[in-house]
Structure 1
Amino acid sequence: MTINWSGRAFDYNDEEIAVLVEAARHADPLTQGKYLEQFQKDFSAYLGVKNCFAVANATNGLDLAAILSGLKKGDEVILPGHTFCASAIPFGRTGAKIKWADIDPETRLISAESIEKLITKKTKVVVPVHLYGLMADMKAIMALARKYNLFVIEDCAQSIGAELSGKKAGTFGDCGVFSFHGQKNLTTLGEGGTIVVKSAALAAKIPGLRHNGARPYTQKREHYWIPAMSNVDLDIEGVWPYNFCLSEPQSALASAVLKRLDSMNDKRIARAEYFRKELEEFPEISFQKVRKGYKHIYHLLSAKYDGKIFGKSNNDLIKSLFYEYNIKAIVQYYPLYRYPLFQKMGFGKANCPNTDEFYDNMISFPFHLWMSDDEFSYILESTKKALKTLRGGKK
C-alpha cells in the first residue's frame, strides 16, 4: 500500500451526513435559502466579522474581491510567486499587471519588505497568501497598505482558523477569501468558499454580483408579479454579474463541520509539532518558522531539504520515500512565473531568489487528517531512515 500525499478528501461524521440528507430533502429553494443564511451567520461569528458571503469556490471569492478592489487595465497588483495558480488568475482577468513578490526565506510567505520593493504609483492591490496554514505578517502589511493606500485581499484558502495575536486570518485586510475544497481543513463536498468584506458599502454589492444581478423590486407594487417576479440590475457600473452561489445542502454541511473545525485543527497542530520536534536532529530539514503570536493550523506539512553537504537533493529524498517506503511525498506550487499560462500572458519575469531556492529544494509530506496514528508514525520513522541513508555516513 502506498501512503499518498492527498489521502481521502474528508471524513464526515454521522451527524454531518444526517444534516446533509436533511437539507437535500427539505431545502427550498436549493440555493439562496435559509441554510445559506445560517452558514453565513455562523462563519461570521467564528471569525468575529459582520459581512460574510458563501460562494461556490474560493476562486469565485477572489474574482469578487478583484472586482470590489476596482482593479483595471494599467493598474498593478502584487502577489507572491509561490502559491497556487488560482491566487493569481482572478487578478490577471482584470487586465492589471501582476508583479511577483518574493517570499521570506524562513516563513516562506510574502512579506511587507518584499511587497514594498515592488510598489509604484500604479500599485492598487496587494494579495498576501497565507500558505500551508501560516499567516503572513498582516500587521506589517496593513501598516504598509495604509502608507501607500493599497487595497488588501487576504487569500486564506489554506488558513481557516489560523491566527496572529489572537485575530483570525481574513479579518485584517479589506477582503478575506476562504476555500472549502475537498483538500482543505473544512470542506463542503469538494468545492465551496466564502468572502468576507470589511466595508459595508462594498458588502452591499456582493449579493447581486454573486447571483446574476438578481434582487427584489424596491418600489411598492400593486401586484407581486408585475413587471416580473424579481429585478435584475448592475451593482457596479459596467460590471457584469456572475453566478457564484453555494447550494443549500453544502451550506448546511458547512455549518455542521464548522462546529468541529478547531478540534480538527488542534489535532493537525499536535501532529505537526511532534513531527517537527522528532526531526530536529536533522538540520538539513527545515520547516516554516512560526514566530511568537502566530497560530499555524498546518493545512499542509511542507519543508525544505538542504542536502548539498551530502551531495543530495530533494529529489533524492522523495525518491527514497517512494521507492523504498511507499510514501508519496510531492513538490508543489511551481513558481507561477515559470508556468506557460503566466508566461504567455506576459507575467513570466520575476526577481524572486527566495522563492526559487525554496521551490527547488522543497518537499511536502503526506499529512491528511484521516491517516491513522500507525500511518503517521510510519511516515515519521521512514523519513528518519531515509535522511540517515542520504547522509551516507556523514553527520
Structure 2
Amino acid sequence: MTFKIPFSGRAHAFTEEEIAVMVEAAREAVPLTQGRYLQAFETAFRGYAGVEHAFALCNATAALEIAAQLCRFQPGDEVIIPSHTFTASAYPFAKKGAKLVWSDIDPATRVVTAEGIAACITPRTKAIVVVHLYGFGADMPAIMALAEVHGLLVIEDTAQALGVEIDGRRAGSFGHFGVFSFHSHKNITTLGEGGMLAVRDPAVAAIVPMLRHNGHCAFPGERDDYWVPAMGNVDLPELDGEPLMPNNYCLGEVECAVGAKLLERSDAMNAEKRDRALRVIDALAGYPELAFHRVDDARHNYHLLVARVGNGWRDRFIRTMAREHGIQCVVQYYPLNRYPLYRKLGFGEAACPHADDFFDNMVSLPFHHALADDQLAVVVEAAGRTIEALRAEG
C-alpha cells in the first residue's frame, strides 16, 4: 500500500552545516575510526548528558551488550525489565546469563515505576533495566532509592529520551549505566546507526575502551622501537581480577563528527517536537477515544506520539486512517514475553496487565521532526474524522 503520509523510518533531516561536517570528516579523518572525532563526540556528549564517562559505540544494542557484560551475572541472577519495550532492551541480558523478570508499566505514563519494580524484586535480583519509552523520563530518583536499598545495578535505556530532564538532571545520568541510541528513528541519528554508553564507576569505565575495541591496549613501559614486539598489544580486560572477553563495537569518525554537531541542536529539536505534539494532543482533545500522555515540560521529548484507542477501536482506527486517508499509523512494542524468542528461552510468562492492555489498544501516529506542519495538520484532521466515523458506526 502506498501512503500519502507514511510512518517514516528517518527522524530528521540534516542541515547544510551538518552535511559539511560529514564531508570534512570524510576527507580529513585519519584513521576513519577511533580517532579525534570520536574523542570530540564523547567529550561533547559528556557535557551534554551530564555524565563523567561516555563511550561512543556502533549502536545502542552494543552499549546494552557491554552493560550486560559488566553486570557480571552469576547463575540464577535476575534482571527486571519492562515487558513493553523494544527487544534490544532485554536479550543482551539473557545472552549474558541473566533470568529475565518482566515488570509492568504505569497505564498513564507507559513506563515502569518504582512500585512496579519493587513487586518484582526477589533475593536473586541483580539489576534493573529502566526504559524511558516514547521519550518520557521514568521517576529515576524513586527508582534509584529503591535500587540502593536492595543493592541493585540500574541500567537506563535512554534510547528514545536523549535530552529529557528529570528533576533537573538528564535521563541516562542517574543509573550505573546509561544507554543512548542514534539510530535512524531516534532524536538525532549518526547516519543510521550509533550509540553511547555512560558509565558511573571510573574503575568500570577504565576498561570500556578495551571491551569496545578488540582488547587493544598499549604495551607496558617504554619501548625503544615502537614496532617491537608488535605495533599494538591485545589483552583481556579485567574488572576486580575477573577477565572479560572483548568485542568490536566501534563507531566511525564520520558518524562521530555529525553526532557532535547534532548535539548542538538536540534540545531545540526536542522543544520543537514537544510543541508540535502538544498542538496535536490539544487539537484532538474533543476525541477522548484517543488518550494521549500530555506533558508540557522537558521530561518528555515526544520521540513518538502514541495514544490508547478506546472502545476496542484500535484496528478499525488504523484501517480507516490507512485505507480512507492514506496515513500509515503503526502498533509498537509487542510485549516481549509474547515473542517466540523469549518463550523459547523460558521467559514467556508475565503478570503485566497494563502493558498488555496498552499494547492491545495503542496506536502510534506518524510523527517525526522532518514532518511538515501541513502534513501534521492532515494527520490531525484525518484522526478526528476517523473517530467521528467510528462513532457513527457504533
TM-score tier by shorter-chain length is: over 0.9
Partner in structure 2 of residue 300 of structure 1:
304
The letter for the 1-side match of 2:300 is H
Distance (whole Å) between structure 2 residues aligned to residue 294 and residue 149 of structure 1: 30
Distance (whole Å) between structure 2 residues aligned to residue 306 and residue 275 of structure 1: 18
Give the one of 18, 22, 25 matched to 1:23: 25
CA contact (8 A) 1:7 1:366 kept: no
| TM-aligned CA distance change 1:289 to 1:106, over 3 Å | farther
Partner in structure 2 of residue 258 of structure 1:
263
Instruction: State the SS of the aligned residue for 1:259.
Output: helix
- CA apart distance, 1:345: 0.8
Instruction: State the SS of the aligned residue for 2:179.
Output: strand
CA contact (8 A) 1:7 1:370 kept: no
CA contact (8 A) 1:130 1:159 kept: yes
The letter for the 1-side match of 2:190 is T
CA deviations over 1:247-273 (Å, ceiling 9, x no partner): 011100101111111111111000001
The letter for the 1-side match of 2:279 is Y
Distance (whole Å) between structure 1 residues aligned to residue 96 and residue 294 of structure 2: 34
Q: Is it true that 1:70 corresponds to 2:75 in the alignment?
A: no
Partner in structure 2 of residue 272 of structure 1:
277
Gaps of 5+ in 1: none
Partner in structure 1 of residue 373 of structure 2:
373
The letter for the 2-side match of 1:305 is V
Partner in structure 2 of residue 313 of structure 1:
313
Q: Is it true that 1:180 corresponds to 2:182 in the alignment?
A: yes
Instruction: State the SS of the aligned residue for 1:360.
Output: helix
Partner in structure 1 of residue 340 of structure 2:
340
Distance (whole Å) between structure 1 residues aligned to residue 174 and residue 51 of structure 2: 10
CA contact (8 A) 1:175 1:195 kept: yes
List aligned pairs for 1:152-171, cutoff 5 A. 152-171=154-173
| TM-aligned CA distance change 1:127 to 1:208, over 3 Å | same
Q: CA RMSD in A?
A: 1.3
Q: Is it true that 1:286 corresponds to 2:269 in the alignment?
A: no
Distance (whole Å) between structure 2 residues aligned to residue 393 and residue 14 of structure 1: 49
Distance (whole Å) between structure 1 residues aligned to residue 220 and residue 30 of structure 2: 23
- CA apart distance, 1:222: 2.3
List aligned pairs for 1:79-94, cutoff 5 A. 79-94=81-96
Q: Which moved more, 1:351-360 or 1:217-226?
A: 217-226
List aligned pairs for 1:1-395, cutoff 5 A. 1-6=3-8, 8-236=10-238, 237-288=242-293, 290=295, 295-307=299-311, 312-392=312-392
Q: TM-score, normalized by length of structure 1? A: 0.96
Distance (whole Å) between structure 1 residues aligned to residue 73 and residue 155 of structure 2: 12
Instruction: State the SS of the aligned residue for 2:127.
Output: strand
The letter for the 2-side match of 1:256 is K
The letter for the 1-side match of 2:303 is H
Distance (whole Å) between structure 2 residues aligned to residue 218 and residue 391 of structure 1: 74
CA deviations over 1:140-178 (Å, ceiling 9, x no partner): 100100110000000000000111112111001101000
Distance (whole Å) between structure 1 residues aligned to residue 7 and residue 370 of structure 2: 12
CA contact (8 A) 2:11 2:188 kept: no
The letter for the 1-side match of 2:379 is I
Distance (whole Å) between structure 2 residues aligned to residue 337 and residue 389 of structure 1: 35
Distance (whole Å) between structure 2 residues aligned to residue 195 and residue 7 of structure 1: 23
- CA apart distance, 1:33: 0.5
CA contact (8 A) 2:131 2:138 kept: yes
CA contact (8 A) 1:164 1:293 kept: no
CA contact (8 A) 1:7 1:368 kept: no
CA contact (8 A) 2:278 2:294 kept: no
| TM-aligned CA distance change 1:117 to 1:266, over 3 Å | same
| TM-aligned CA distance change 1:8 to 1:147, over 3 Å | closer
Distance (whole Å) between structure 1 residues aligned to residue 9 and residue 86 of structure 2: 19
Distance (whole Å) between structure 2 residues aligned to residue 349 and residue 93 of structure 1: 18
- CA apart distance, 1:240: 1.0
Instruction: State the SS of the aligned residue for 2:39.
Output: helix
Instruction: State the SS of the aligned residue for 1:348.
Output: coil
Q: TM-score, normalized by length of structure 2? A: 0.96
- CA apart distance, 1:105: 0.9
CA contact (8 A) 1:77 1:96 kept: yes
CA contact (8 A) 2:11 2:369 kept: no
Distance (whole Å) between structure 1 residues aligned to residue 158 and residue 78 of structure 2: 21
Distance (whole Å) between structure 1 residues aligned to residue 75 and residue 29 of structure 2: 42
The letter for the 2-side match of 1:186 is I
User: Paired residues, what number?
Assistant: 389
Instruction: State the SS of the aligned residue for 1:286.
Output: strand
Gaps of 5+ in 2: none
CA contact (8 A) 2:11 2:187 kept: no
Instruction: State the SS of the aligned residue for 2:130.
Output: coil
- CA apart distance, 1:7: 5.0
Q: Percent identity?
A: 49
- CA apart distance, 1:139: 1.1
The letter for the 1-side match of 2:358 is F
